[in-house]
Amino acid sequence: MSPFADRDPETRRALQLDALAAILPADRRDQLAQLLTDDDVATLKHLAREGMGENSLRALASDLGYLEAWALAATGAALPWPAPEGLALKFVAHHLWDPARRETDAAHGMPSEVATALAAGGLLRSDGPHAPATVRRRLSSWSTLHRWRGILGPFAAPTLRAALRLAVRANVRSRQRKSRRAVTRDILDQLLAVCASDRLADCRDRALLLVAFASGGRRRSEIASLRVEHCVDEAPVALDPADPASPRLPCVSLHLGRTKTTGADDDARALLIGPPVEALRLWLERADIVQGAVFRAIDRWGALEDRALTPQAVNLILKKRCAMAGLDAQNFSAHGLRSGYLTEAARAGVPLPEAMQQSQHRSVQQAASYYNDAERRQGKAARLAV
C-alpha cells in the first residue's frame, strides 16, 4: 500500500509531487496538486523516470495544469482522455479571437465566466487573446501527453489545423521577443562595470554574465545547471590565429549535455576563450568550488550556499545588474544574452553557421532573424528619408 494512501487526494498529490521537486517550481507544488489529477501526476513521474529534459517536463506540467483548469472552467468537468475534437476546437476559440469582433459580439472569444475563473486561480494575467505561440505550445503539450498515455488525440485533424490557422490570421497580436532589448556588447560592458568590486556576489555575477554571453548566449536553465565537471580545460589558443607569434589565450570547453535543442548524447559543446575563462576561474577559486554546481546562491550576509542558482535567479541577477547600471530592467531578460550574442556576431561579420555552432541554435530561420535585424539597422533602406 502506498504510504500516502490514507491522505486526502490533494495532499497525496502534493506529497507525490515532492518527488519532482528538483524539476517543478517548489512554490507551485500546492497549486499543481489542486489542478492535476492522480493520473496526471503519475504521467509526470513516468516522464521524469524516462529522462525527459527538465525544461520540457516543467513546461508540460505547467501546460497540463492550465488545461485542467480551463477544462473545468469551460465544461464543468476534468480534462477527458482522449480529448474529443470539439474540445480542442473550443480551446482554440477561447484563446485566439478577433478583438474587433469582440466589440460587437460579446459571445466571441473566451466567455467572461471562464476568464474570471482562470484569473482567480492566477492562470490568466491579461485580457485579450493569447499569443499564438502560447496556444500552439499548449496544444503541442496536450498532444504529447496523449502519446505518452498511449492514446490518440484529435490534434492531426484537418478541421483543428484549419481552425488554428484561421484563428492565428485573425489574431492581430504582434509577436513579442522574450527580451525587449538584446544584451549587446555595449550593454554587457555596462553590466560588467557594476560588478567591479571585490564582493563575492560581484565576482560570481561577472563570471555568470561573461560565460552566458561568450558561450553563445546560453539559456538561463543551462547556466543554472552548469557544473564544474562540464568545464574542461583546453590547450591555449592564439589571439590571432593567422599569426604564429600571437599571444596565447586560455580556453575552456563547456559540455552542455541535454539542452532545449540537443540530447544528452549529442556531446554539444561551446568554447570560452580569454576573459570569460579568467572570470570563471577566478570565481571558482574565490568560492572554493571544485565540484558540483558552478553558479550558486549567496545569502544576505555574503556567505556561499551549496544550492545552485535557479533559472529564475539567473534572470533576476541580470535584471538587478541592469537596474544598477541605470538601465530599465523591464526591457531586459536573460534571453537578451542569447539574442545579444547573435546580434554581435552579425555586426562582427561572423558567418551564421559558425555563430550557430557556438549558440547551438537548430533553427536557421530563428538565428537568421537576429542577423537580419542587425543588417537592416546598419543598411540604407530605412534611412532614405533621413
Domain ranges of the chain: 9-170, 185-381
Instruction: Assess whether pLDDT exceeds 60 at residue 27.
Output: no
pLDDT band at 21 (very low <50, low <70, confident <90, very high): low
Q: What does the DSSP 8-state code read for residue 53? A: -
Q: For residues 373 and 276, which has the higher predicted lDDT (pLDDT)?
A: 276
More confident residue, 13 or 228: 228
Distance CA 324, CA 313 (A): 16
* pLDDT for res 2: 43
pLDDT digits (tens, 9 = 90+) for 185-199: 999 999 999 999 999
The rounded percent of the chain whose pLDDT value lies above 90 is 36
Instruction: Please provide the average confidence, as pLDDT, over all residues in the chain.
Output: 82
Dist CA 28 CA 310 (whole Å): 14
Strands, sheet with 269-273, edge to edge from the N-terminal-most edge strand = 231-238, 248-255, 269-273
Whole-number pLDDT of residue 1: 40
* Angstrom distance (rounded) from CA 373 to CA 216: 18
Rounded to whole angstroms, the Cα distance separating 270 from 274 reads: 14
The confidence score (pLDDT) of residue 355 equals 82
Query: pLDDT at residue 358 above 80?
Result: yes
Q: Distance between CA atoms of 236 and 226, rounded to whole angstroms? A: 22
What are the Cα distances from residue 247, in Å, to 214, 236, 271?
19, 9, 18
d(CA 381, CA 81): 53
Query: Which amino acid, residue 99?
Result: P
Q: Which of 26-30, 137-141, 190-194, 225-229 has the lowest mean pLDDT?
A: 26-30
- State residue 268's pLDDT score: 76
User: CA angle, corner 74, sides to 34 and 82, nearest 5?
Assistant: 75
Query: Residue 194 in contact with residue 325, Cβ under 8 Å?
Result: yes
The pLDDT-based confidence of 15 (bands split at 50, 70, 90) is low
What percent of the chain clears pLDDT 70, i.e. is strictly above it?
79
Of the ranges 37-51, 147-161, 188-202, which is most confident?
Answer: 188-202
Q: How many CB atoms lie within 10 A of CB 123?
A: 16
Does 22 score more than 70 pLDDT? no
Nearest-angstrom CA–CA distance, 45 and 57: 10
pLDDT tens-digit series, residues 234-244: 999 898 888 88
Range with the lowest mean pLDDT among 34-43, 167-176, 191-200, 233-242?
Answer: 167-176
Question: Residue 115 and residue 162: Cα distance in Å, rounded?
Answer: 25
Question: According to the model, what pLDDT value does residue 77 have?
Answer: 92
Q: Please tell me the least confidently modeled range out of 38-42, 301-305, 307-311.
A: 38-42
Evaluate the CA torsion angle 347, 352, 354, 360 in order and state its sign: positive
- Cα 213 to Cα 128, 208, 271, 287, 369: the distances in Å are 35, 8, 11, 21, 18
Which pLDDT band holds residue 17 (cuts at 50, 70, 90)? low
**Tens of pLDDT, residues 48-96:** 666 666 667 777 888 888 999 999 999 999 899 999 999 999 999 999 8
pLDDT at position 25 over 70: no
pLDDT at 289: 94
Q: Which pLDDT does position 98 carry in this prediction? A: 81
Distances in Å between the alpha carbon of 255 and those of 199, 223, 288, 305? 28, 12, 21, 24
**Superfamily of 185-381 according to CATH:** Intergrase catalytic core (1.10.443.10)
> How many angstroms separate the CA atoms of 10 and 18, rounded?
13
364 or 272, which is more confident?
272
pLDDT of residue 252: 93
pLDDT the model gives residue 264: 47
